[in-house]
A and B are shown apart, each in its own frame.
Chain A
Amino acid sequence: MSEIILGIGDYGASKTPGGRVKTFALGSCVAAILRDPRNGAVGMVHVALPDSSINEAKARQRPGYFADLGLPLLIQEMARLGSPDNGRGLVVKLVGGASIMDHNETFNIGKRNVLALKKHLWAYGLGPLAEDVGGNYSRTVSVFVDSGKVVVNCPGRGEWEV
């Protein structure tokens, strides 16, 4: 099976039959997952922070780390597999963005990540069809080319579909 494993700040897409894109242990990070129903391509970006303006060097080195840069890069990556480069018609799902219990504003990075992604999706006229975000547990997530399914799991909590 052709499998793309993403680390923090990575993005990738696939339309290879039998393939999938997967990322481990999102914590407060968020995976934005795209699917093009026309050609079956799927893609994902593993975003750690909402805004790249806090560190320009890192933004150049690892743009996928940030919601504002990571999403456009993923849409480009989908375009290389044949989707429109303005993102039109892509189906979006969001997973992750967990937090510690009793967090305050400073420690609410998960929520800020989700909001930032939504804002940038909106600029493309896109919005999440489904999301599994928040809570106090870290998610591992895969998206499968053949079925288009998005499957989440978490140690001790089992596995479910989004």
Chain B
Amino acid sequence: MTKVVDAEAIRQAIERLPLFSPNALQLLQVIADPDHELEDVIRIVKFDSVLTMRVLKVVNSPVYGLVNEVTSIDRALSYLGERMVVSIAVQDNAGQLLNKPLEGYLGEQGALWRHDLFSAIASREVARYARGDFDLDLAFTGGLLHDIGKSIFSDFWKEVAQDALSQIDEGMVADYLMAEQDLAGLDHTEVGYRMARHWQMPEALQRVILHHHHPAEAPDWVQPLVYAVHLGDIVSMMAGCDTGSDGLQYHLDTGYREFFNLSPNALAEIVLNAQEEFSRARESLTN
């Protein structure tokens, strides 16, 4: 008995989403450009008084323990890194979505933001083990946005989600994503992809959102990035930082070996570093 959620209602909910500010969007575009420099990010922040204020507040958060107050954006950015600016901009533009309780997943308020932030940090840590050159901050940004689709999908999913876990346990579907497709007729990656298109996000980020559970299906040019986020997402769930009932109910695609050289010890280091940066980042962004 398949109950399918109303795809048209989801389309309308996406249509109604407020757009990202031009500055935030420009920031994401700059981050997605492999040739960008820190200067480009600094310029965007300086143009945006709200973002400037937020960045200075974060860098002066007690968790970083800086002795002298930082008052220049240049210093703030070289200390925090581009990734914290991205976090602030995403929080300012999609904070409401990211902080919603995920009823369909039995995820409490804030669970999605925590999961996305942890995944972002872990994706960047994974990217350090790339066999080739890698844009670490883009991996972070992809991780931060990868599950954004759950924010909208969850409200529809809650109507049909009850059978998902028993279907998986009984082997009727392969994983949680397949349960979503089977019971709802679509899944959180598709919804997220459509949200990213509505927001006119850079294509690389759209692809991360769409393919993060099946990275082999991503086009070649963006596959390494998608694999980094695929693994960052998994590390985040392993660390107990999931979004609720779907935690760990997904598959690992070992095709990552082509792009990353990960020994068990490397993975342990990733877990350690991610955990540590996550608690700092989370605290500085909350204060």
> Distance in Å from the Cβ of B259 to the closest Cβ of chain A?
14
Once the chains bind, are B252 and A49 in contact (CB under 8 Å)? no
Stretch binding the partner chain, chosen from A36-44, A79-87, A105-113: A105-113
CB neighbours of B275 from chain A (8 A): 8, 48
| Main secondary structure on A side of the interface with B | loop
Stretch binding the partner chain, chosen from A10-18, A21-29, A69-77, A118-126: A21-29
Once the chains bind, are A26 and B237 in contact (CB under 8 Å)? no
Give the size category of A's interface with B: 35 or more
Q: Tell me the nearest residue of chain B to A140, going by C-beta.
A: B240
> Distance in Å from the Cβ of B277 to the closest Cβ of chain A?
13
Stretch binding the partner chain, chosen from B52-60, B77-85, B262-270: B262-270
CB neighbours of B266 from chain A (8 A): 106
Count of chain B residues near A, Cβ 8 A: 34
Once the chains bind, are B239 and A101 in contact (CB under 8 Å)? no
Distance in angstroms between the alpha carbons of A99 and B245 in the assembled complex: 14
Once the chains bind, are B238 and A102 in contact (CB under 8 Å)? no
Knowing A54-B269, A156-B244, the reply to whether A27 touches B264 (Cβ < 8 A) is no
Distance in angstroms between the alpha carbons of A51 and B264 in the assembled complex: 11
Distance in angstroms between the alpha carbons of A65 and B276 in the assembled complex: 12
> Distance in Å from the Cβ of B265 to the closest Cβ of chain A?
5
Q: Scoring A residues 47 to 65 as 1 if CB is less than 8 Å from chain B, else 0, what string do you get?
A: 0111100110010000001
CB neighbours of A105 from chain B (8 A): 264
Once the chains bind, are A48 and B269 in contact (CB under 8 Å)? no
20 A-B pairs (CB sep. < 8 Å): A8-B239, A8-B240, A27-B241, A28-B238, A28-B239, A49-B271, A49-B272, A55-B272, A99-B248, A101-B248, A104-B252, A105-B264, A106-B264, A109-B271, A110-B238, A136-B249, A137-B248, A155-B244, A155-B245, A156-B245
Query: Other CB < 8 Å A-B pairs besides A51-B268, A54-B269, 11 of them?
Result: A8-B239, A8-B240, A65-B272, A102-B251, A104-B252, A105-B264, A107-B267, A109-B264, A109-B268, A138-B237, A138-B240
